[in-house]
Amino acid sequence: MKRLVLGSQSPRRKELLELAGYEFEVRPSNADEVIEEGMPPEEAVLHLARVKAENVKVDENEVLLASDTVVVYNGEILGKPKDDQEARKYLRLLSDTTHEVYTGVCLKTNQTVDTFDVKTEVTFFRLSENEIDAYIRTGDAWDKAGGYGIQGKGSLFVEKIHGDYYSVVGLPLSRVARELKRLGIFPE
């Protein structure tokens, strides 16, 4: 029987796999998450997912799942904000606009490496400076691409999405489930 390994410390990815009923081991990657300047977002997330996967060893009966998510505004990748000022800048950019969220997934066995990406469009309401400041004070902007989490208080900013909600959270769960099934891994 094959075993699933999550190559990530992300609490959101862990929660999503648990929600779907998967049993898995967490074996985080210590890869440097660096992308080349000008790399298209769909390539960037696939690259980052592959780099993470390459840094985690798998045994014969294991399937490793590695993933990365980026927020893109006007062609620019918005990473995890370094400080309050950058978080504020990101939220001002996203206010009253539609942006894209790309999640790349890498599934690795000791014989194969498969990747795919999912794009979702997210539209924000117009945000006031008070809303932005209050959100930043919650601490929810940290460790999240684009400075917001759709699964938390950041959900109050979202007018609509077109695509996979769970991909915006950090893992396109239904697509992952289909790919894992193909590799012989099923939820409990």
Considering just the CA atoms, what is the radius of gyration of the chain in Å? 17
Are the beta carbons of 85 and 133 closer than 8 angstroms? Answer: no
Which pLDDT belongs to residue 154?
96
pLDDT of residue 113: 97
Told to judge if 68 belongs to the known catalytic residues of this protein, a careful annotator would answer: yes
Considering the chain, what is the average pLDDT of its residues?
Answer: 95
What domains are there in the chain, each with its CATH number? Answer: 3-182 (3.90.950.10)
86-103 per-position pLDDT tens digit: 999 999 999 999 999 999
41: pLDDT strictly greater than 90: yes
Q: Could you tell me which residues come within 8 angstroms of residue 17 by beta carbon, excluding any fewer than 6 positions away?
A: 4, 6, 24, 65, 171, 173
User: What pLDDT score was predicted for residue 85?
Assistant: 96
Residue among 32, 59, 68, 114 flagged as catalytic: 68
Lowest mean pLDDT of 26-30, 66-70, 116-120, 134-138, name the range: 26-30
pLDDT in tens, 156-169: 999 999 999 999 99
In this prediction, residue 34 carries a pLDDT of 83
For 3-38, write each residue's pLDDT tens digit: 999 999 899 999 999 999 999 999 998 888 788 888
% of the chain exceeding 90 in pLDDT: 91
Query: What per-residue confidence (pLDDT) applies to 158?
Result: 98
pLDDT of residue 37: 86
From CA 98, how far away is CA 89, in angstroms rounded? 16
DSSP secondary structure letters along the chain: --EEEE----HHHHHHHHHTT--EEE----------TT--HHHHHHHHHHHHHHTS---TTEEEEEEEEEEEETTEEE---SSHHHHHHHHHHHTTSEEEEEEEEEEE-SS-EEEEEEEEEEEEPP--HHHHHHHHHHTTTTTSGGG--TTTGGGGGEEEEES-HHHHHT--HHHHHHHHHHTT----
**% residues pLDDT > 70 (the chain):** 100
The pLDDT of 46-61, averaged and rounded, is 95
Whether 2 has a pLDDT exceeding 90, the answer reads yes
Closest CA to 159 of 123, 121, 120: 123
Provide the pLDDT for residue 138.
94
Average pLDDT of 78-83? Answer: 93
